[in-house]
Structure 1
Amino acid sequence: MLKQLHIQNYALIDSVNLSLSDGLSVITGETGAGKSILLGAIALLMGARADGKSLYDPEKKCIIEGTFALSNYPHIRQLFETEGLDFEDPCIIRREINPQGKSRTFVNDSPVTLDSLRKIGQELIDVHSQQDTWWMAHPDFSLEIVDSFAQNQSLKNSYTLTFQAFIQAQEHVDNLVKQAASGIQGLDFMQFQFQELDTAQLRIDEYEGLEVAVEKGENAEQIHEKLAGLANLLSLDEISMGQQMRMALQHTQALSKWDPTYEDWKARLDSIWIELKDLSNEVEREAEDFQSDPASLQRQQQRLDLLNRLLQKYQVTDIASLIELRNQLDDQIASFANMDESIAKAKESLANAQAQAEKAAAQLSKSRNEVLENIVSQLRDSLSSLGIPNATLAWENTQREMRANGIDKIQLLFSANKGLSPKPFKQVASGGELSRLMLSIKHLLAQKRALPTLILDEIDTGVSGEIAIKIGQMLTQMSQGHQLIAITHLPQIAAAGSSHWYVYKDHAGEKTVSSLRELKGEERVDEIAKMIGGQQGYVELKDNVRKLIQANHVE
């Protein structure tokens, strides 16, 4: 429940603090005194969009802070875990709005997004105002009544999971069918490309070797000439480099006995001599074996031309990429070859998912239908006690294809007058009748939903006298399981509260401000008496007010 509410620099409020208790708290005050400002501040705590224009002092930031006791609501702890927030009891929610209109939100001093705040807020507080009767005309309104009364959350969760699986399975089938349709058109071309690359018998290390072989083949005459010349230079003839090296070795052999440096020269020349003999033999063999083969050269040139054409055609830079492309084409062709089988399996999975979703939808629908008459019966009794004894309620109930909320299209029809057939809420003109119907619905669902705080803004519109007393009794009963905050203009309802807050405007300063104070004892008696008789005639009504308060609080 909401234990503390702090509002600073918001609308006409400079700074106020409310300490709220469980049970029924009533808020009264003159029209325009600031009761709607309280609702606006609470809406900010629930994730409403902020507006910098609503600041009392445009140079300072606005702070709205609420402290909530949550120990009796374990489902909210689970929501905190889902949102990745640390659960603390009490829980403190703070909203700050700077003069530029930007806001920051904190839950237990941890910054949160507005989306997370809205999810948490709708589990902490339910606010109903007279302007919210438009929601009664929404197609989902009646379903929410039925599901809340039947406590269908578990069935709804099960159905949602199966319905999502069904939708995903349907999308998978649709995608495969589209792929098959588009793939057939390009299959012949893919097969042609694969055949071209596969016939080429590509090898990763082939291209560089071909380039070298073709280069040598195209320059065979020059290469043969140079090899022969080099072989002659390195041979062991009298004018060859080898002969000169042999003579150099003889000289260093003679010098080596006179100086260690000469001995080192001899060792180095020995090493060069061995390397030179090896090189000479290798060059001679290459010169003898090297031959020009025009036929082989032609084959190599044609192969290199083929590889270059494929590289250019498929816009890649190496043979490895061509091989990868060939393998990809092979996989794609194979997938199209198995497309019929894939579609068949996907359709089988779709049928199973549809059967599971339909089963879950049927279970949810059965649970809904089982409570329809009970809901109508209890609402009829409640409306009778609130001065609408001839109320008629009926269900417009049909089934349709599966949707996110099931297969049921359910609408509650209502008539307040005898002899008139019930109609959809949007065709019911009386605001007072709709207010009492909404109060009856809230009363009906109060014990079914674990909601910490319920706020009713002038839900007593259009009623007075004995009916107002009945509404006060109903609110008192509802407040036994919830913290209930009622904003009212009726003294009968004000007398029913276990605590009473008064909203007023203070004109003493340079700017008008809205303030609140809790009324107790005779202050409360005076205020309720003034609500009945006004400023002039309230004194003689005080005894009646005391009796009214006492009557509402007899155990």
Structure 2
Amino acid sequence: MLKHLHIQNYALIDSIDLSLSDGLSVITGETGAGKSILLGAISLLMGARSDGKSLFNPAKKCIIEGTFSVAPYPHMQQIFEEEGIDFEEPCLIRREINPQGKSRTFVNDSPVNIDSLKKIGQELVDIHSQQDTWWLANADFTLELVDSFAQNQEVKTAYQSAFRAYSQAIKNLHSLQKKAAEGTQGLDFLQFQFQELVDAKLEINEYESLRSHVEKGQNAELIHERLAQLANLMSSTDMSTVEQMRAALQQANALSKYGEDYASWKNRLESIWLETKDLANEIEREAENFQSDPNELAQSQQRLDLLNRLLQKYQVREISDLIALRDSIDAQISGHANVDEALALAEKEVASRLKIAENQAAKLQTSRQVVYDIITQKLAESLHALGIPNATLAWEIREQELQLSGIDKVQLLFSANKGLAPKPFRQIASGGEMSRLMLSIKHLLAEKRAMPTLILDEIDTGVSGEIAIKIGQMLTQMSRSHQIIAITHLPQIAAAGAHHWFVYKDHAGEKTVSSLRELSGEDRVDEIAKMIGGSKGYLELKENVRKLIHANHD
């Protein structure tokens, strides 16, 4: 339910605040006063396209903000979760449009895109105008009408779950068929790659070891020379490092008896001397034994070249990646080997899922067949009451291949005149007839489900007198369980409203603005009387208006 609407800097509106209640609210005003502007602002809040041309002051941004009660619609919580938005009561939707035409949208202070706004908006507000009747010929809407009246949600959910499982089974089968269609050429290539990687006898730590070995072999002469020099410095001369450390240790030993610090030096030098002597022995052994085998170096170089070629060919950086690729190719080859068996299983799965889906589709179809005649009967009765006494309706029902909506392809046909067979709406219905048919359908749906706020824009076009009173009564009945906002030119419908808002142009300032005020008491009586008799002849009509208002609210 729309509880509050704030519009700022939009079209002829400088700033308007509209607090709404449940029940039936009517909006009246002279042509051009701004009723359609009000509707346009709400449409923007629901995700309509925006631009900077509609700003009242082109230098400032436009703000449209709506506060909605979402407590009556717990099913919406899933939509909010899917969009990553907190589900809060009330729900605040805010849309801002800057002078360049760019817009930002927030739902409960979370930024959202237009698709998310539309998804949420269509659950909160249902806007219909006399011209907006395309949905009457929309197959999805027609089935929604049937399913809502049949109260078959459990059956429909079971079918759609079965249909999705069937669709997924078909996708799996097509994927396997595609793999099989690649043929032996693809398999041969995989086998070649696998064998190449197997023959390489890959080991994870081999690469670094090979690279180090090759680098030593390529610099053998220099390494041997440096080893000899290092060994000489460490231990092969009278002034070698080992001899110097031994001499230092002797001096420290002589000093150690004169103090604890000196004794500590002696211990530390002794440790260093032992380590230095051990290191010198290792260096000397390496200098004596170091040699490079040209044949072994060539083999290591060839092995390293092979690994580098494989790394470059398969566009990976580590030997572990090559090993993982080898194992992956092995799994793919196994998959090819079992593809015939997998195809047979997939075909059985498709057949099984199809049978389940067809059984569920038949149940859904049966649930719909029960209500077709009841719906046309109730719509005909409603249309008779609304001044189309010869209205007849019929169904055009055909079976189609399995779809998410079922196997039923349904169209509602209509005739307003005796002797004429019902046909699709667009071929025969006038604007007034379409409006009344739309109202009858909404009235029917209101009996069966929780509907969003319903905004009706001049659906009373083409009617008057007693029929207008009937429409007012129907709206009043619907508003007992749903919030209805009706934009109207008819006094009979204006009198039916529990709340009455008046839109007018204010010329007091430098720029004409559209303003809005709520009418009650004698102000409301005056406005409805003026709708009947004009500004000059309304006074003598006021008593009749009081009776009309009273009759609607007994």
> What is the TM-score normalised by the length of structure 2?
0.81
Secondary structure of the residue aligned to 1:504 is strand
User: Take 1:78 and 1:211, find their aligned partners in 2: how far apart are those partners?
Assistant: 59
Residue 223 of structure 1 corresponds to none
Pairing of 1:406-425 with structure 2 (within 5 A): 406-425=406-425
Pairing of 1:90-129 with structure 2 (within 5 A): 90-129=90-129
User: Take 1:550 and 1:533, find their aligned partners in 2: how far apart are those partners?
Assistant: 19
Q: 1:152 to 1:103 in 2, by over 3 A?
A: farther
Structure 2 unaligned spans of 5+: 221-227, 257-265
CA contact 1:311–1:317 (8 Å) conserved in 2: no
Q: 1:538 to 1:54 in 2, by over 3 A?
A: same
User: Take 1:528 and 1:417, find their aligned partners in 2: how far apart are those partners?
Assistant: 33
What are the superposed Cα offsets for residues 505-537 of structure 1, whole Å, 9 maximum, x if unpaired?
122221111112222222222222222222232
Q: 1:305 to 1:318 in 2, by over 3 A?
A: farther
User: Take 2:171 and 2:423, find their aligned partners in 1: how far apart are those partners?
Assistant: 39
Pairing of 1:59-458 with structure 2 (within 5 A): 59-199=59-199, 201=201, 305=302, 308=305, 312=309, 315=312, 323-458=323-458
Secondary structure of the residue aligned to 1:449 is coil
Aligned residues: 530
User: Take 1:470 and 1:342, find their aligned partners in 2: how far apart are those partners?
Assistant: 65
What are the superposed Cα offsets for residues 277-297 of structure 1, whole Å, 9 maximum, x if unpaired?
98899799979xx9x99xxx9
Q: Percent identity?
A: 65
Residue 471 of structure 2 corresponds to 471
Q: 1:283 to 1:431 in 2, by over 3 A?
A: closer
Secondary structure of the residue aligned to 2:460 is coil
State the 1:491 CA deviation.
1.4
Q: Which amino acid aligns with 1:389?
A: P
Residue 53 of structure 1 corresponds to 53
Pairing of 1:23-38 with structure 2 (within 5 A): 23-38=23-38
Q: 1:529 to 1:182 in 2, by over 3 A?
A: same
Q: 1:300 to 1:318 in 2, by over 3 A?
A: farther
Q: 1:92 to 1:305 in 2, by over 3 A?
A: closer
State the 1:202 CA deviation.
5.3
Q: Which amino acid aligns with 2:526?
A: D
State the 1:79 CA deviation.
4.1
State the 1:6 CA deviation.
2.0
User: Take 1:543 and 1:196, find their aligned partners in 2: how far apart are those partners?
Assistant: 101
Secondary structure of the residue aligned to 1:526 is helix
Q: Which amino acid aligns with 1:128?
A: H
Q: Which amino acid aligns with 2:118?
A: R
Q: Which amino acid aligns with 2:403?
A: R
State the 1:41 CA deviation.
1.4
CA contact 1:66–1:92 (8 Å) conserved in 2: yes
User: Take 2:535 and 2:90, find their aligned partners in 1: how far apart are those partners?
Assistant: 41
RMSD: 4.3
Q: 1:470 to 1:325 in 2, by over 3 A?
A: closer
User: Take 1:528 and 1:54, find their aligned partners in 2: how far apart are those partners?
Assistant: 31
* 2:515 is the alignment partner of 1:503: no
State the 1:309 CA deviation.
5.2
Query: For the pair shown, which has the larger CA radius of gyration, 1 or 2?
Result: 1
Q: 1:147 to 1:298 in 2, by over 3 A?
A: same
Q: 1:197 to 1:133 in 2, by over 3 A?
A: closer
User: Take 1:454 and 1:553, find their aligned partners in 2: how far apart are those partners?
Assistant: 20
State the 1:420 CA deviation.
0.6
Q: 1:298 to 1:90 in 2, by over 3 A?
A: closer
User: Take 2:18 and 2:276, find their aligned partners in 1: how far apart are those partners?
Assistant: 107
State the 1:353 CA deviation.
3.3
User: Take 1:70 and 1:283, find their aligned partners in 2: how far apart are those partners?
Assistant: 84
CA contact 2:211–2:304 (8 Å) conserved in 1: no
What are the superposed Cα offsets for residues 61-102 of structure 1, whole Å, 9 maximum, x if unpaired?
222222333444433455444544334433333222222223
Q: 1:308 to 1:75 in 2, by over 3 A?
A: closer
> What is the TM-score normalised by the length of structure 1?
0.81
CA contact 1:311–1:318 (8 Å) conserved in 2: no
Secondary structure of the residue aligned to 1:459 is coil
Residue 43 of structure 1 corresponds to 43
Secondary structure of the residue aligned to 1:523 is helix
User: Take 1:18 and 1:352, find their aligned partners in 2: how far apart are those partners?
Assistant: 57
CA contact 1:46–1:117 (8 Å) conserved in 2: yes
User: Take 2:395 and 2:494, find their aligned partners in 1: how far apart are those partners?
Assistant: 35
User: Take 1:29 and 1:207, find their aligned partners in 2: how far apart are those partners?
Assistant: 86
Q: 1:541 to 1:284 in 2, by over 3 A?
A: closer
What are the superposed Cα offsets for residues 193-233 of structure 1, whole Å, 9 maximum, x if unpaired?
4445545655567788889999999999xxxxxxxx9xxx9
Q: Which amino acid aligns with 2:19?
A: S
Q: 1:318 to 1:512 in 2, by over 3 A?
A: closer
User: Take 2:470 and 2:283, find their aligned partners in 1: how far apart are those partners?
Assistant: 122
What are the superposed Cα offsets for residues 405-449 of structure 1, whole Å, 9 maximum, x if unpaired?
222100000010111111111212411111111111111111222
Q: 1:85 to 1:215 in 2, by over 3 A?
A: closer
Secondary structure of the residue aligned to 1:399 is strand
Secondary structure of the residue aligned to 1:85 is coil
CA contact 2:396–2:410 (8 Å) conserved in 1: yes
Worse-matched range after superposition: 80-89 or 142-151 = 80-89
User: Take 1:276 and 1:83, find their aligned partners in 2: how far apart are those partners?
Assistant: 69
CA contact 1:41–1:64 (8 Å) conserved in 2: yes
Pairing of 1:533-552 with structure 2 (within 5 A): 533-552=533-552
Secondary structure of the residue aligned to 1:33 is coil
Q: 1:322 to 1:486 in 2, by over 3 A?
A: closer
Q: Which amino acid aligns with 2:114?
A: L
User: Take 1:395 and 1:197, find their aligned partners in 2: how far apart are those partners?
Assistant: 67
User: Take 2:508 and 2:280, find their aligned partners in 1: how far apart are those partners?
Assistant: 118
State the 1:300 CA deviation.
9.1
What are the superposed Cα offsets for residues 15-47 of structure 1, whole Å, 9 maximum, x if unpaired?
222222222111111111111011111112222
Q: Which amino acid aligns with 2:512?
A: T
Secondary structure of the residue aligned to 1:74 is coil
CA contact 1:311–1:319 (8 Å) conserved in 2: no
Q: 1:416 to 1:213 in 2, by over 3 A?
A: closer
User: Take 2:181 and 2:216, find their aligned partners in 1: how far apart are those partners?
Assistant: 52
